[in-house]
Structure formats: structure tokens, C-alpha cells
Amino acid sequence: MLKSLTVTNFALIEQAGVEFAGGLNVLTGETGAGKSILVDALTTLLGSRADREAIRSGCESFRVEAVFDIAANAGVKAILDDQDIPLDDGATLILSRFLSRQGKTAILANGCHVTVGVLRQIGEGLVDIHGQHEHQALLRPEAHLAMIDSFLPPAGRETLARYRRLYASWNELGAALARTESDSRERAQRLDMLAWQTKEIAAAALQADEEEQLAGDIRILGNAEKIVSAVNRVYGLLAEGGRGSGGVLSDLADCRKELEIAARFDPALEAKMAVISDTLYQLEDIAAELGNYRENVEFDPGRLAKLQERMDIIHGLKRKYGATVAAVLAYHRQAAAELADITNYEERLAALTAERAAVEKDLAQAAGGLDTVRRATAAGLADKIRAHLADLGMPHAAFLIDIKAPARFTPAGSEAAALFSANPGEEAKPLAKVASGGELSRIALAIKTVAASAGGVGTMIFDEVDAGIGGQTARMVAEKIALVSVDKQVLCVTHLPQVAAMADRHLAVEKHVAGDRTQTVVRILDGPAHRREVTRMISGDNMTQAALDNAAEMINSAQLSKEKWKNKA
């Protein structure tokens, strides 16, 4: 349920805060006062395209905010939970949308930023909006099927979901078969190329870390003479010394010997002697290892040539199949798998054909079950719609929904056509061919009335759906809209006094000029003000006592009717 709407700098509205009630909320006012601006602001908040042209002239941005009570709306709660949007009291949802002339935008749900897509999901679960031109959607056959599906019982919805799953699988298998059959034209050429590539890579017997090891070995062999020369020099300095000395080891041994003598007299020198001793031992080990190293290093041009040849092979494979050895090996695995697929082409084609045939059998069964449940639902729905059409001044109207199985499988699974005849004895024909604008409007209202009693969203908006209607039909339309408000919260923009008389809350939308600026304001009308507005809608400026009494009688009658419906509900 929509509790409040706050609009700032949107079109003609500078600032408006509107509190809504349960039941029927009616918005009235002179033509051009801006009644539909509130609806436009709300639809923008619920995910419609935000247009900078909607920013009030002379302002830099607009903001629209609404507060909803979603205590009983499990669908919206699930969306919020999926998006990690908090719902602290379990009931209150605050939506806000901001747009500046520079294109800066912000969409918040309980203080959390959300995308337009998520906002639209939430909006679809909160409000059902029916505008004065929206009934034209009834002329599209796909809308007829969607209407039926929205009334399917739980078992029917599961049948529909199963059909859609099977159709998706059947369609994917068909695409795979088509690709497989198409690939067969290039199969022989591709087979030869893959066989040669996999053989070339396999023959190289690559190892994942081989390139790095080869590079190290080539570096050592290629510089063996420099390495041996340097090692010999270091070994000589350590063990033999230069320029007549006995080497670093001999000098360190002398140092240790002298410190041993001195430490006998000053124990503080023992630590330094220990450091020299450790260093001496480590250097002796290094000298021994260097001696072994220089004995084992050899310059082998033949081995170096083989290593370089191996590296050339790796570089050649990398140029063809990947930037690294790992990439080359990954390509080999992929090519081998593709080769296996092509080699087993006939088997794979047969397997796909058999799998698709099995899915097609299940799909045909699901399609039959779906047609059955749709026909049953369509028949019951048509009966309810006909009953409401009779109340709306078309007692002899014929309305039925024809469900047909398509010639081939389709994503929808069935074809539907709403057929209508307003006059007795006339054959029912597609709506697009026989229904007038006024008839379409009443058919749409009948459908909405049925939908209201079937559950769904908690708030419904009717934006001037009663345009062009008068007399007894206007009274019937008013009763239907009021009947919807027994089960739902309804917001109705109207010019009909019959609808306004039914209001649980009456909101007057007025346009004022202050200085050189025009602005729209919204007022809640109390009892006397409500009666005066209904009088204006009936009689214009003729505010006589008789006119006021007539309006009061209309309001009393309307409210009594509503009380009867509520008691029955």
C-alpha cells in the first residue's frame, strides 16, 4: 500500500506531499491542473524513464519519494532480501529517485543505492498502473495470452514453467544439431589440421616448467669459461692468496690465533674471536665447494647446441599456439577435444538427435497439458469478465478467449485471441476488428476488476480511464472502480463526479499562478470541501443549494453502496 508521495520540482509541482488512505483515493481538478503529473512522478519513481525535461523550469533537479507499507507483500520482500536491502520493521519501504540537469542520478531503496532494473522489479510488485490509452494493449494477441497466464492456478503455473524449461532445452539442442550439421562441410579440412597440430605439440613432449630450466642451463653453458675463471680467482684468494700472502683463510686463522692469546687476559675479546672463528669455518666450506664446482664445470658445445635447438622448438610452438608453454599445452587439450568431437561426429550427431527427440516428446506432452489448463482458465476468466461487462452497460456482450495450439512449438506454447461482440446475434470477432475505444476501456476495467479479486499487487492506479464516459455508464464504471478498492488500494484520476463520490479520500489538484510562476498544489478535501468539489464536477460554477444537495445525495448513495460491498467481502 502507498502511504505517501513527496514530489519536489517535478514539472509544475514545486513541492507537494500527499498522504494516501486505504481504499479509493480520488484525484480531481480542472483540465490542465496537473492531476496526471502526480501519476507521472510516481511511475518515474517506480522505474519509468527519468527525463530531464520533467525538471521544473528554473530548477536544477527533481526528487520523488514514496513510502510503502509492504507487510503483506512477500514478492517485494523477496526482491529486497535478494538485494540485501534492509527492512528494519518488516513493513516500511522508502523509495527515492533524484535527477539533475547534468545527468546526475540517485535511486535509493531504504537508503541503499539500486539500479533502474531493480527499481523496476520492485515497482512492478508494488503498483499496477492503468492509463487512459493502456487499454490499446488489449489489441495485441500476446497480451491475451499474458492475461490468461496471470490467472493460472498454481498447478497451471508449474505446467507453464515446465513447458518453458523443456522448450529452452529443445531449442538449444536444435541449435547444437544445426551447428553440428553445418560444421560437417568443413569437417574433413578441420580434421586434418587438428590432427597435424596435436601431433606436432605432442611430439615436442613439453613440460610446464621446461622453458625456464632450459634458459638457465643455456645461460650457464654459454658462459662456462667466464664462470670457471671467476670461481678460480675467488678460490685462489680464499685458499692461496695473492702477491705472496697465504690467502684469506690463512690470514683469518692468524687473526683467530692472536685473539685467542689476547682473550686469555681480556674475556671481552672472546665474542669477537668467536665471530672470526665462525667466519673462518664458513669460508673454509665455501672454498671447498668452489674447488669441487670448478672441477665439475665443463664447456660442452654439443650439449649447448642441443639445448638451443630445444628452445627453438618451444619458441616455434609458442608463435603458433600461445604466448607461454602453459598456453600451448592448453591449446593442445582444446584441439584434442575438438578432434575427438569431429572424429566421433556420427555418434555425436546421433546422440543429439536422440536427445532432442526425447525432449520433444516431453515438450509435446507439456504443451498439451498447458493448452488444457489455459483453456479451462480462459473459460472461467471470460465468464467473470462477461458478468462485469453486463454491469458496465453491455448486458448482451459476448466475450471469450480462444486458445489454440500453434502449428509448431513456440516460446509461448499457445496462441490466444480475445473475441468480442457487443450485440446479440453477432458473431464474436477479434477485439481489434470490432471493439470501439469506449468498449475497450470497459473491457479493460472489467479485466482489472477480476484481477483485483485475484490478488497480485496491493495498489492499482486508474489514470482517466473513464474519459469520454457519461450517464448511466459513468455510474457503472464508478461502481467497478469502487469495487476494486474493496480489495485493493486504488488511486484514480477522474473527471466523473460518480467516481469522486465513491472516494475514501478526495485529493484536489489545483494550479495557481504566483507572480510569473505557475505551480500545482494538492489538497486533501474534508467533508464539506469534498461535497463542493463533487458539486463543481456535476454543475460547474453553478453552486446553488440544489446543486449542493444533489452532490450530497450522490455521495451518500455511493458510500452506502460501498459499505454493502465491504460487508459482503
Query: What's the confidence (pLDDT) of residue 188?
Result: 66
User: Residues 460-515: pLDDT tens digits?
Assistant: 888 876 666 666 777 888 888 888 888 889 999 888 899 999 999 999 988 888 77
Distance CA 501, CA 210 (A): 89
Residue 56 resides in a domain: yes
Q: Note whether 176 and 107 are same-domain residues.
A: no
pLDDT (tens digit per residue) in 366-411: 999 999 999 999 999 999 889 888 888 788 888 888 888 888 899 9
Instruction: Assess if residue 238 is contained within a domain.
Output: yes
pLDDT, greater one: 535 or 215: 535
Identify whether 75 is part of a domain.
yes
Is there a contact between 469 and 499 (Cβ–Cβ < 8 Å)?
no
C-alpha cell at 552: 450530497
Cα 448 off chain centre by? 27
pLDDT surpasses 60 at 524: yes
Instruction: Please indicate, yes or no, if residue 469 is contained in any of the structural domains.
Output: yes
Q: Is the model's pLDDT at 516 over the cut of 80?
A: no
Report pLDDT for 131. 63
CATH of the domain at 124: 3.40.50.300
Q: Are residues 356 and 259 in the same domain?
A: yes
Over residues 222-271, the pLDDT tens digits come to: 777 787 788 787 777 777 665 555 678 888 888 888 888 888 888 888 88
**Number of independent structural domains in the chain:** 2
Average pLDDT of the chain to the nearest whole number: 84
Q: What is the pLDDT of residue 360?
A: 94
pTM of the model: 0.62
* Final residue of a structural domain among 368, 385, 413: 368
**Strands laid side by side in the 105-109 sheet:** 13-19, 2-10, 61-69, 92-100, 105-109, 112-113
Q: Where does residue 224 fall: left (phi above 0), alpha (psi -120 to 50 degrees), or beta otherwise?
A: alpha
Is residue 384 in some structural domain?
Answer: no
Shared domain for 109 and 26, answered yes or no, is yes
Contact 254, 191 (CB under 8 A): no
Last residue in a domain, options 327, 342, 368: 368
Please say if the pLDDT value at position 363 is more than 80.
Answer: yes
- Residues 114 and 210 grouped into a single domain: no
- 175 and 36 both lie in a single domain: no
Give residue 454's pLDDT.
65
83 falls in which pLDDT band (50, 70, 90)?
very high
Q: Within this chain, do residues 320 and 254 fall inside the same structural domain, yes or no?
A: yes
Beta strands 92-100 and 517-525: pairing type?
unpaired
Whether residues 160 and 278 share a domain: the answer is: yes
- Strand 24-28 versus strand 105-109 pairing type: unpaired
488 and 562, same domain (yes or no)? yes
Among the candidates 326, 349, 368, a domain finishes at 368
- Whether residue 329 sits in one domain with residue 237: yes
d(CA 207, CA 196): 20
Please enumerate in sequence order all residues whose Cβ is within 8 A of that of 199, keeping only pairs 6 or more positions apart, or say none.
none
Of residues 167 and 181, more confidence is placed in 167
Lowest mean pLDDT among 83-97, 120-134, 503-517: 120-134
Phi, psi of 554, deg, nearest 5: -65, -40
Helices 545-568 and 471-487 pack at an angle, to 10 degrees, of 40
- Which domain does 540 fall in, by range? 2-131+457-568
Assigned domain for 386 exists: no
Whether the predicted pLDDT of 300 surpasses 60: yes
Instruction: For residue 406, tell me if it sits in a domain.
Output: no
| pLDDT at residue 107 is higher than 80 | yes
The 8 Å CB, 24+ separation contacts for 370-373 are: 370/156, 370/159, 370/160, 370/163, 370/413, 370/414, 371/403, 371/405, 371/413, 371/414, 373/152, 373/153, 373/155, 373/156, 373/159
- For residue 480, what pLDDT is reported? 84
What are the distances in angstroms from CA 407 to CA 53, 92, 331, 370, 416? 47, 49, 45, 15, 13
Confidence of residue 99 (pLDDT cuts 50, 70, 90): very high
HSE-CB at 387 with a 13 A cutoff on CA atoms is: 8
Same domain, 12 and 72: yes
Enter the DSSP assignment of 526: -
Q: Kindly state whether residue 375 falls inside one of the protein's structural domains.
A: no
The dihedral built from the CA positions of residue 264, 266, 268 and 274, taken in this order, carries a sign that is: negative
Pick from 29, 95, 34: nearest CA to 63: 95
What is the bridge-based pairing of β-strands 505-514 and 517-525?
A: antiparallel
341 and 281 part of one domain: yes
Reported as a single tens digit per residue, the pLDDT across 157-167 is 999 999 999 99
Report whether pLDDT(341) > 80.
no
Based on the domain organization, do 267 and 177 belong to the same domain? yes
CA-only gyration radius of the chain, Å: 43
